[in-house]
Structure 1
């Protein structure tokens, strides 16, 4: 926390306040343009239930991907390993986004006087899946960024449309076939669907597959850790 946020005025406060304020502004802007969400009658809540898990994944994965680059001086000490750097980045940023989640949902509840019927287990599963997916993709990209610097730019380009194809501002049910089937190949669609199941009791998200998301998490994490272990000497020598 001190090395990442300590140099700016306000420190860690902005790590929470900035995304929370950004979500509030974007929710307000989208609510003016799209008055009838796919679920419920409050677009701010509908948007937040998609955007919050998406941003948890997106931001945490990006920061975990840069773990070795950011923690390079600490990795010179023998007791500190790349696992320490990965876990530290994942943990602090996941906790930050969980705090943002609570602040935004509480803010919407008070501002709009919403009456929630929450499925806490579904909300928890969505957050766990988003965090796990961020860790898996982040670990794999940590290796790829270190070994192939060009992959950083390629990955940035590939992620440009992710916001649009992750069902953040719509539900998969409104997408016709065969495009819906292609959309469901994105594991984030399942993560967002599970979050909305937690807030909308009538939404069953029949397309949702826990096994599919967990397979993504397990494969990317196992592959990333294996490659980092195999090439750690080369990565550290070029770091």
Structure 2
């Protein structure tokens, strides 16, 4: 009896997630005629701009056979993945408030589904941008695909953890949600998106290493380039610890304030 009930609840959750995923995908891609194109163009524009900006100092900044284009692509894509998962997940509760009239739909479901959708879209963006670089004769094959994939998954989970926390904070304190959105602008320059963290002077580098995004991006680069020797203090374990802390805090906040989120 209990096992049948568990299976039933699990099947209901799957049905809810599937319906929310289709709804979110339709809304995400149908908000404008070029909505689907902008998903690809936004990171592509940043990639091209940074390639042009840093092209003249390529040999001074890069070493060890590191390809500048792929180096920048990893930074831009990884940061945008975290940012978009966090920001769009933060807005999920308020955007889907009308659905909470159905008791099967919980606020946490909307955040999880939005994060899954962003992961799906950015996986497509990743392969599209890599394909674009390959057309220009650039070697896009990673030296350690497993490390690249693990770092990318942890970056996505970091965005999910932020989304879970910020979705509660943003729903209960709208002013705080606005501050969170603004914080991603300076974070772009503090996450080693466009430069190797090892090129930063030591006192400032120690502060930047508190940012878990740096560890994810540099780990992806280390997996991509066999000759890339970044900061020795880069650690996927540190990134994983921050991810677990944020996921635990976010889920705890959703459990604690579930009724208030539904009543918004």
TM (normalized to structure 1)?
A: 0.90
Matched, 1:21 2:47: no
Aligned residue in 1 for 2:105 = 80
Give me the CA root mean square deviation. Answer: 2.0
Q: Mark the runs of 5 or more structure 1 residues left unpaired by the alignment.
A: none
CA distance in 2 between partners of 1:93 and 1:112 (Å) = 29
Matched positions, count: 237
140, 152, 155: which one aligns with 1:130: 155
Aligned residue in 1 for 2:32 = 8
235, 238, 243: which one aligns with 1:217: 243
**1:193-236 residue CA offsets vs partner (Å, 9 max, x unmatched):** 11101221012442221221111111111111111211121222
Query: Following TM superposition, by how much is the alpha carbon of 1:111 offset from its aligned partner in structure 2, in angstroms?
Result: 1.1
Query: Following TM superposition, by how much is the alpha carbon of 1:25 offset from its aligned partner in structure 2, in angstroms?
Result: 2.9
CA distance in 1 between partners of 2:216 and 2:141 (Å) = 20
Structure (1 or 2) with the greater helix fraction: 2
Matched, 1:161 2:186: yes
CA distance in 2 between partners of 1:5 and 1:169 (Å) = 29
Query: Following TM superposition, by how much is the alpha carbon of 1:157 offset from its aligned partner in structure 2, in angstroms?
Result: 3.2
Matched, 1:228 2:251: no
Aligned residue in 2 for 1:59 = 84
Q: Kindly name which structure, 1 or 2, has the bigger radius of gyration based on alpha carbons.
A: 2
Contact map agreement 1:90 1:135 (CA 8 A) in 2: yes
Contact map agreement 2:43 2:77 (CA 8 A) in 1: no
Q: Mark the runs of 5 or more structure 2 residues left unpaired by the alignment.
A: 1-24
Contact map agreement 2:85 2:163 (CA 8 A) in 1: yes
CA distance in 1 between partners of 2:80 and 2:115 (Å) = 14
160, 176, 197: which one aligns with 1:151: 176
Which segment drifts farther, 184-193 or 149-158? 149-158
